[in-house]
Amino acid sequence: MVRDTQIARFPSLPLDSGVTLANVDVAYETYGELNAQRNNAILIGHAFSGDAHAAGHGKDDGAPGWWDSMIGPGKAFDTDRYFVFCTNVLGGCRGSTGPGSINPETDRPYGMSFPVVTIGDMVRLQKKLVDHLGIERLLAVAGGSMGAMQALEWAVSYPDSLACAIPIAGTARHSAQQIAFNEVGRQAIMADPDWNQGNYYGKTRPARGMSVARMVGHITYMSDESMREKFGRRLRDQDQFEVESYLRYRGSQFVDRFDANSYLYITKAMDYFDLTSGRGTLARAFEQVKSRFLVISFTSDWLYPSYQSVEVVRALRSRNCDVAYCELPSNYGHDAFLVEVGEQTELVRGFLASTHRGRK
């Protein structure tokens, strides 16, 4: 399954900040076919550093999508039955409009003049694409980590536009610890002189800051156990532990595929995300929700611990929403949503099938 990323452009997008963004691109990929009733469409939301290339093999480099183990013929998101698509988020750097895009007013990259974006804004842009594709009501919105935030935001903001939401390893709002880890990454980037207040396009990129930021990220994505199993205290050479060289390698790689300003904007969007904001309680946020929910978390995920999923489930139940919750056993930490394919597949496949049957 070879897939190429497509771009849709919209003349304007109103943002939560009050600013209206002009000429907004959204990059997306599609897998499978939209049926005649247009009721088999599933939107996948990516995690912080993901992109629209969720499945199949990239047209240029042949690289598999970030959730290729879950999306495809006969897989959890079965492309023989469903029309699956994934967008790069607003503020991103993989085709959708973000701080690295050209500001039509100045003909130069936005940099830090890019407006603040929220998870709500990201979802608003996705909704434009859904309308553009002629889909009135999605079968599902699903995703892990920041993708889970998007699924929850969809259910709250567009209750009539989806039949079910599948938030995996996510939360309705970041804890102080999650904000703190993101802030370390931001400070590492902004401490790099090459960041230059965000004006590094066409110049040297803030590679050292990005590398440190990514190293912190990787530690939080794994678990104490999975790091022990993968690296232990093994030395790579005389005075360097394997875990050190692995993290440095992953950090340096990241610089080539991600934009530092997108790092700043997207992590801020995650930190600001708070479904209780302006509503008092999470239960009240779910007052108008009409979709079904499948909520999944993982035992060893200490970045998005199960209690955050339980908080969502409890609020949904208090509003009599149709919600299934599963905490899956895993040693892989937050990465589990990308790695633990077997049990996730069973859960997702059954949940999607019963939701789809209910719509026929």
Residue positions annotated with a catalytic role:
145, 301, 334
CA atoms within 13 A on the CB side of 343: 14
Binding flag, residue 274, its own copies (CB under 8 A): yes
Helix (DSSP H) and strand (DSSP E) numbers for the chain:
11, 16
CB 97 within 8 A of CB 24: yes
Angle, CA of 85, 297 and 182, to the nearest 5°: 80
Smaller CB distance to its own copies: residue 227 or 341? Answer: 227
Minimum distance from CB of 218 to its own copies (Å)?
Answer: 8
Task: Select from 219, 324, 326, 341 the one that contacts its own copies (CB under 8 A).
Answer: 219
Smaller CB distance to its own copies: residue 244 or 327? Answer: 244
Minimum distance from CB of 231 to its own copies (Å)?
Answer: 4
Task: Select from 193, 329, 342, 350 the one that contacts its own copies (CB under 8 A).
Answer: 193
Binding flag, residue 232, its own copies (CB under 8 A): yes
Please name the residues in contact with 259: beta carbons below 8 A apart, sequence gap of 6 or more.
93, 98, 99, 100
Question: What separation in angstroms does the CA of 35 have from each of 2, 41, 83, 340?
Answer: 21, 8, 8, 29
Binding flag, residue 231, its own copies (CB under 8 A): yes
Task: Select from 64, 128, 196, 271 the one that contacts its own copies (CB under 8 A).
Answer: 271
Stretch that binds its own copies, among 90-98, 148-156, 238-246, 351-359 (CB under 8 A): 238-246
Minimum distance from CB of 181 to its own copies (Å)?
Answer: 6
CB 54 within 8 A of CB 86: yes
Minimum distance from CB of 323 to its own copies (Å)?
Answer: 24
Binding flag, residue 174, its own copies (CB under 8 A): yes
Categorise residue 80: left if φ over 0, alpha if ψ from -120 to 50, beta otherwise: alpha
CB 208 within 8 A of CB 194: yes
Alpha-carbon torsion angle 302, 292, 140, 117, nearest 10: -60
Q: Where are the alpha helices (DSSP H) in the chain?
A: 119-132, 146-157, 176-190, 207-221, 224-230, 242-257, 260-272, 282-285, 306-318, 336-339, 341-359
Task: Select from 1, 34, 184, 324 the one that contacts its own copies (CB under 8 A).
Answer: 184
Smaller CB distance to its own copies: residue 59 or 228? Answer: 228
Binding flag, residue 136, its own copies (CB under 8 A): no
Binding flag, residue 212, its own copies (CB under 8 A): yes
Minimum distance from CB of 94 to its own copies (Å)?
Answer: 25
Contact map string, positions 285 to 304, toward its own copies, x by CB under 8 A: -----------------x--
Binders of its own copies among residues 97 to 126 (CB under 8 A) are: 116
CB 319 within 8 A of CB 189: no
Q: Which of 38, 37, 71 has its CA nearest to residue 54?
A: 71
CB 328 within 8 A of CB 297: yes
Question: What separation in angstroms does the CA of 109 have from each of 20, 51, 73, 100?
Answer: 17, 20, 40, 5
Binding flag, residue 243, its own copies (CB under 8 A): yes
Report how many residues bind its own copies under the rule CB under 8 A. Answer: 43
Smaller CB distance to its own copies: residue 69 or 211? Answer: 211
* Binding interface with its own copies (CB under 8 A): 116, 173-177, 179-181, 183-184, 187-188, 191-193, 208-209, 211-212, 215-216, 218-219, 222, 224, 227-228, 230-233, 239, 241, 243-244, 247-248, 251, 271, 274, 302, 305
